[in-house]
Amino acid sequence: MQRNDLSRSLVAFEQNSTLVAVVELSLKTWLVAGLVPGLTRQPLKKQGADPETLLALLDRWRNEASKAGRVISRIVVAFEAGRDGFWLARWLRARGIEAYVIHAASIPVSREHRRAKTDRLDTALLMRAVLGWLRGEAKHCSMVAIATLAEEDARRCNREHEHLVGERTRIVNRLKAAMIRHGIRDFNVKRRKASERLERLCGPEGVPLPPNTLAELRRDMARLRLISDQIKEIEKMRLQRLRQAPQEATHPMLLMLARVKGIGIETADMLVHEVLSRNLRDQRALARYAGMTGAPDESGSKRREKGLARAGNGRARRGMLQLAWRWLMFQKNSALAQWYWARTAGARRDVRKTMIVALARKLLIALWRYVTSGELPAGAVLHPAR
């Protein structure tokens, strides 16, 4: 049985008994457009960013449909995925309303150079897309799988860790640039006691660091120590949770991946919570979600490939490309590594870079099969069970 990929509705759409509303969300106001059975007009209401007001508006429209002789048996509310996340969809579903989150990039828009764009026009566009989706027609729009609060929270550790590592790299690069600006090239700014040695540092000119530069370096090193401590705290907390509850939620899947040689806890955490725990339809949907499918450009006699589509999860794509290179180092005798070396032996560097994307895609599918069905990638080596 094929899984529902939310590209179209599988429920019959009865327009005479279904109230449809789309919401254009913003920071302070929401613009709500409705399609109410029995009314010739299509109501449009601007309100504050308040879910209770939205619920009262839906009840009012339902009452207007009842006065027009229509019985409303289904209420559908849809809005674009964005900064607000999924809290509104969960809130509406808890109150018996069918709520959907639209994949923003799946809505066809005009390709005019300077097309008119207002909230009113956007709600009309959303309404057309949602109605086509409800009728079961393909290519109108796609819906996003609504994550639970626990699923959203499980992704925070890995995403915060990624953000902190990037911030640490920026601070280290800034410290090194400041040192090189004064001719100092052999000082390790990442040492724990580096700030205590700043007073004794002298450049090739034989003079100590200027006072403003010295104060700036101390502040940056204090930030570096704080960020390093926060990274260690995240890593320690994650390991502690895995030891305390190894069978809870996605922990078994994470521990399965971490047993594969070359995959650490950080990479396993990213793969599980960003990709592998999702209810994806098949291996094609898996590769497309990770953004590792091609982007063909074909018109008439022209045939060319523009490279990676990059339309999926950027974190998963970057992580898999890095993991593919590590796989060649730690799993040299695996079937996937042998497949790669057989096709790139003596090849140019650009060919190896192209083929590493194919290896990353194959590896992602193999790991997906491993955590879902227990089928280990051929020739892969596992760490001993602890």
**Interatomic CA distance for residues 314 and 274, integer angstroms:** 10
If you search the block for the tokens 């001993």, which residue do you land on? Answer: 384
Hunting for tokens 């919570």 — which residue is that?
Answer: 273
Q: How confident is the model at residue 307 (pLDDT cuts 50, 70, 90)?
A: confident
pLDDT the model gives residue 3: 65
In DSSP terms, 378 is beta-bridged to none
C-alpha distances (whole Å) from 129 to each of 72, 139, 208 are 21, 9, 66
Say whether 253 sits in a helix, a strand or coil. Answer: helix
Q: What are phi and psi of 366, to 5 degrees?
A: -65, -40
Which residue would you say has higher pLDDT here, 197 or 5? 197
Q: What value does the mean pLDDT take over residues 109-120?
A: 86
Residue 319 in this model has a pLDDT that exceeds 90: yes
Instruction: For residue 275, give the nearest of 263, 285, 261, 260 by alpha carbon.
Output: 285
Longest dimension (CA), the chain: 92
**57-66, 190-199, 304-313, 342-351: lowest mean pLDDT where?**
304-313
Q: Over 90: is that where the pLDDT of 47 sits?
A: yes
Q: Is the predicted pLDDT of residue 335 greater than 70, yes or no? A: yes
Q: What is the pTM of this model?
A: 0.86
Contact status, residue 13 vs residue 135, Cβ threshold 8 Å: yes
Compute the CA torsion angle 243, 244, 245, 251 (nearest 10 deg).
-30
How many residues comprise the chain?
Answer: 386
CA dihedral 171, 234, 85, 277 (to 10 degrees): 120
Label residue 1 by pLDDT band (50, 70, 90).
very low
For 145-204, what is each residue's pLDDT tens digit? 999 999 999 999 999 999 999 999 999 999 999 999 989 888 888 888 888 888 888 888
What's the CATH number for 15-146?
3.30.420
Q: Tell me the C-alpha distance between 290 and 30, whole Å.
A: 32
